[in-house]
Structure 1
């Protein structure tokens, strides 16, 4: 019992001694952090983008060049703006999608696949099935999405003969949906979630 108490007291003393070094580590080891900030930022950004938008092959040679050729005060912001531009400019072609198992289809499926017979509830039901089929990933950038953070996409528009059959349906994240339907996507940078989240993550 005494040994246990001594061990606890010693542990608390060690923690109390080391805690300030952890809290103020960037000040204490300022030279180390400044020296390695460049590599850490770019590597962390690369990992984040690969995990969040795996379909998009971001040009990190370009990103690295932007970061190294600009003053530190604006370098990160310019990098994040370029990431958003690359995200916007990523090429996307609408393609016929996979069918779903016939076991999933319901009695009025064919009738309700005609836009004239469709309802809001019918489209919500289809969206849920398409999300499961596509593993809850955006069809354009492969970002993880949910029912309330995604938009249903028609591969072939209704006015050109498209229907609500599953082969004509996909899902996009909110950003990709904005880009696909915008006449001037290059003006969307500041309105995109990707830009907002990157600024929140890296511009502290």
Structure 2
């Protein structure tokens, strides 16, 4: 009798959970399977990418590659993945940067520009970073996004092992995302940790 009551209770719980699914099946289906146009989504992505990464020539005609996909959420995700791949694969070389007027330099600049033992940064490193950041108007050298001085990443155009030093012409200012991409041995794995990925995926979820 106790065993029978247990089965009755389990059966009741199963039925109780199925009934709401049946009643609201249309709403659930519409939420999980979205149809519609991606026109607004594409425009939103274009505004964001052109405004925040102006140096990268994104291809905004990619929507036609996914025109056979009926689920708009899946289509938008595929489009975002395509944009991210374009960002990752954008060809960029670390090259010597513009010099700054000599009157902008400070005492000890030349002496501290030379390679220091154990590759340590010079004592005026913060001043050099700020000077390079001002030279580039606070923009990432690779993608062109606006960055705060505190968030700016620095790479050397010519590595120390190749004779590079700490002179301003050798200092390249980058955003966090671009620095990660340049240093990454596995770009696809790095993609999930990028701010641009987060920003674009939020547009899909929205």
Both proteins in one fold, TM over 0.5:
yes
* Cα offsets for 1:93-142 (capped at 9, x unmatched): 22211101111111100111113076465222111111110011100000
- In structure 1, the residue matched to 2:172 is 170
Is there any run of 5+ residues in structure 1 with no aligned partner, and where? 1-33
Equivalent residue number for residue 194 of structure 1:
196
User: Are residues 1:56 and 2:68 paired?
Assistant: no
Partners of 1:69 and 1:143 in 2: how far apart? 33
Structure 2 counterpart SS, 1:46: helix
8 Å contact kept, 1:131–1:147: yes
- Write the distance in 2 (CA, Å) between the matches of 1:104 and 1:116: 23
- Equivalent residue number for residue 41 of structure 2: 41
- Detail structure 1 runs of 4+ shifted over 6 Å in the superposition: none
State the partner residue of 1:146.
148
- 5 Å-filtered alignment, 1:1-204, equals 37-62=37-62, 64-70=63-69, 71-116=71-116, 119=121, 121-204=123-206
Query: Cα distance 1:120–1:162, how it changes in 2: closer, same or farther (>3 A)?
Result: closer
Contact 2:41 2:203 in 1 (8 A): no
**What is the deviation of 1:69?**
2.8
How many residues align structurally? 169
Give the distance between the partners of 1:121 and 1:82, measured in 2 at CA: 43
C-alpha offsets along residues 168-203 of structure 1, whole Å, 9 cap, x if unaligned? Answer: 111010010011111111221111110011122442
| DSSP 3-state at the match of 2:172 | strand
* Residue aligned with 1:153, SS: strand
TM-score normalised by structure 2 residue count: 0.76
- Stretch moving more, 110-119 or 48-57: 110-119
Q: Is the 8 A contact 1:66 1:75 kept in 2?
A: no
Change (3 A) 1:197 1:73: closer
Mapped to 2, the partners of 1:149 and 1:95 lie a distance apart of 21
Please identify the structure whose Cα radius of gyration is greater. 2
Q: Unaligned stretches of 5+ in structure 2?
A: 1-34
Alpha-carbon distance change, 186 to 193 in structure 1, aligned in 2, over 3 angstroms? same
Give the whole-Å Cα distance in 2 for the aligned partners of 1:180 and 1:84. Answer: 14
Please provide the CA RMSD for this pair: 1.8
